[in-house]
Amino acid sequence: MNHLRPLAIVCSMLALMVMPARAQKWEHLADTPQMGWSTWNKFQGNISEDIIMGIADAMVETGLRDAGYTYINIDDCWHGKRDDNGFIQADPVKFPKGMKAVADYLHGKGLKLGIYSDAGTNTCAGMPGSLGHEYQDAIQYARWGVDYLKYDWCNTANVNPRGAYQLISDALRSAGRPILLSMCEWGNSKPWRWARSVGHSWRTTPDIWCNFDSLRVFPGYTQFGVMQCIQLNDTLRQYAGKGYWNDPDMLEVGNGMTENEDRAHFTMWCMMASPLILGNDLRNMSEATRNIIMNKDMIAINQDTLGVQGLHYCDKDGLQFWFKPLAGGDWAFTILNPTRQDIHFNLNWQEFNLTDDDVSGLSTSFNTKVYRVYNLWTHRQEGKTSLKNKPERKLVAKARDVISYRLTAK
Ligand code: GLA
């Protein structure tokens, strides 16, 4: 049907002309989950450039930057007014030097700047939103030297989520500076089903609060404790992968939970390949907090290049058993005790011969393979897995705590 070919060519040219130019998101900005710090959990709207710069100094001095935490994210309430041309300005009282100066300061320290906006008329705290100004805002962020945008979902009556997030993603792409897009619509429109090519992470939960296992209910919204975040995020593991992560919200380590609760919280965020965005005051933290967030062995589980969210394999006697396949045939294995009692149990490796059919296709094969067992919190080798089908490791899982191992095939 050769005579149809010119017609086909004309049709495809026409199609190209009428199709909207749809950019891909900026690629390779989050091939492993993003790591950094955000103002929100500790400071809410009480922020200033002095706080940001002080946190940046602490990020470097404590060694956190070198452990991988590079983004310093300014959440809600940095905004001033729009200028006569509609370009957003920083609040001149909180940021007298201006946002460009903050970005330059962070970049000079090998850090990156994150900023926050909202797809609606106003942000959740009532500041100007990006609706109707998406391209202008993207241009402004690029001019300032911003590297990361958290894009929230308050005040969005009549806004379509897919359209709104695609629009800001396209705007960021057009503005020419690589900016990571952290989507924050709390899972309302199931972004894990449609946003892989739009953003680099999407919130899967309502807001976290600094509590291990209860809800905080306000009129119109509810905050989740650590366990509620885990439970919801756990159902979505097949949707996460290299460059697009499930985000069960920012960390509360160091903000008031007990040390063991903080350790369990941090471990589970690592097991779930969640973004690690610290939320405590880095300028002033306890040794215990520092040891948790600086655990490089644990961070390596989060940042593993296979990029698979951990599998909640089973529950037994009040304990949860989690496995995360790692690059090179290793596994991370975590026993989470979410209860208020210490639990004694005998570990039999043969109960955990599993194949991760849903995501990686990998098997633990404890019946044929022996692994070296490395404790990710004591940093000690603890022998090997056993091929014998009998309980051979007596353990005590402490209340609201974890036992966590890296298993390395011999
Ligand atoms: C929403 C977000 C939070 C935070 C606040 C700021 O609640 O989910 O993470 O950004 O807005 O107002």
Query: Three-state SS for 377?
Result: coil
The Cα–Cα gap between 103 and 261 comes to 34
Residue 401's closest CA among 275, 299, 264? 264
**Cα within 13 Å of Cα(298), Cβ side:** 26
pTM, to two decimals: 0.95
Structure tokens at 261: 């609760």
pLDDT tens-digit map of 110-154:
999 999 999 999 999 999 999 999 999 999 999 999 999 999 999
The single residue listed with the structure tokens 């897919």 is 162
pLDDT band for position 7 (50/70/90)? low
Given this model, what pLDDT does residue 410 score?
Answer: 79
Give the ligand 1 atom nearest the CA of 206.
8
Rounded mean pLDDT of 296-306? 99
Per-residue CA distances from 115 to 143, 147, 360, 397 (Å): 13, 8, 34, 40
Exposure string (b/e) for 81-114, b if CB count within 10 Å is 16 or more?
eeeeeeebbbbeebbeeebebbbebbeeeebbbb
Given this model, what pLDDT does residue 8 score?
Answer: 53
Which protein residue's CA is at the shortest distance from atom 6 of ligand 1?
76
Given this model, what pLDDT does residue 275 score?
Answer: 99
Is the shortest distance between the CB of 124 and ligand 1 below 6 Å? yes
152 is catalytic: yes
Give the ligand 1 atom nearest the CA of 75.
10
Rounded mean pLDDT of 46-57? 98
Given this model, what pLDDT does residue 97 score?
Answer: 98
Given this model, what pLDDT does residue 5 score?
Answer: 53
Catalytic residue among 75, 170, 207, 281: 207
Is the shortest distance between the CB of 76 and ligand 1 below 6 Å? yes
pLDDT tens-digit map of 304-361:
999 999 999 999 999 999 999 999 999 999 999 999 999 999 999 999 999 999 999 9
Does 46 or 9 have the greater pLDDT score?
A: 46
User: Could you tell me the end-to-end alpha-carbon distance of the chain, in angstroms, rounded to an integer?
Assistant: 62
Characterize the bridge pairing of strands 401-409 and 331-337: antiparallel
Question: Which of 78, 184, 204 is the pocket-test mutation for ligand 1 (most atoms within 8 Å of CB)?
Answer: 184
Query: Is the pLDDT assigned to residue 19 strictly greater than 50?
Result: no
The Cα–Cα gap between 236 and 344 comes to 30
Angle at 186 between CA 184 and CA 187, to 5 degrees: 110
Catalytic residue among 75, 147, 152, 401: 152
Average pLDDT, the chain: 95
Give Cβ neighbours of residue 391 (< 8 Å, ≥ 6 apart): 346, 347, 348
